[in-house]
Amino acid sequence: MDSKELRQKSEKELLELAASLREKLRAFRFDVAADSLKDVREIRDAKKTLARALTIHAERAKNAK
């Protein structure tokens, strides 16, 4: 998901996305430990999307003040 798509989401949607990505990363860590994760790139993509979502959320919070 790119920045343009994330900027169109509401605050609630961004926070829900962040929570789901955190859960997804947690599951990835278990998959890596069990050696059952096939595509390691998914971890990197999830981390980047989480960082983008949290950055946009922080920008909006800063601009709201």
Q: Give the pLDDT confidence of 7-65 residue by residue, as tens digits.
A: 999 999 999 999 999 999 999 999 999 999 889 999 999 999 999 999 999 999 999 88
Asked if residue 23 belongs to a domain, the reply is yes
Place of tokens 């950055």: 55
> What is the reported pTM?
0.91
**Residue 49, token pair as written in the block:** 């999307």
At residue 37, the pLDDT reads 87
Q: How many domains does the chain have?
A: 1
Greatest distance between any 2 Cα atoms in the chain: 46
Place of tokens 């993509």: 45
Which residue segment(s) compose the domain that 25 sits in? 10-64
At residue 65, the pLDDT reads 80
| Interaxial angle between packed helices 41-64 and 11-33, expressed in degrees from 0 to 180 and rounded to the nearest 10 | 150
Asked if residue 21 belongs to a domain, the reply is yes
Asked if residue 2 belongs to a domain, the reply is no
At residue 64, the pLDDT reads 87
Count CB neighbours of 17 within 10 A: 19
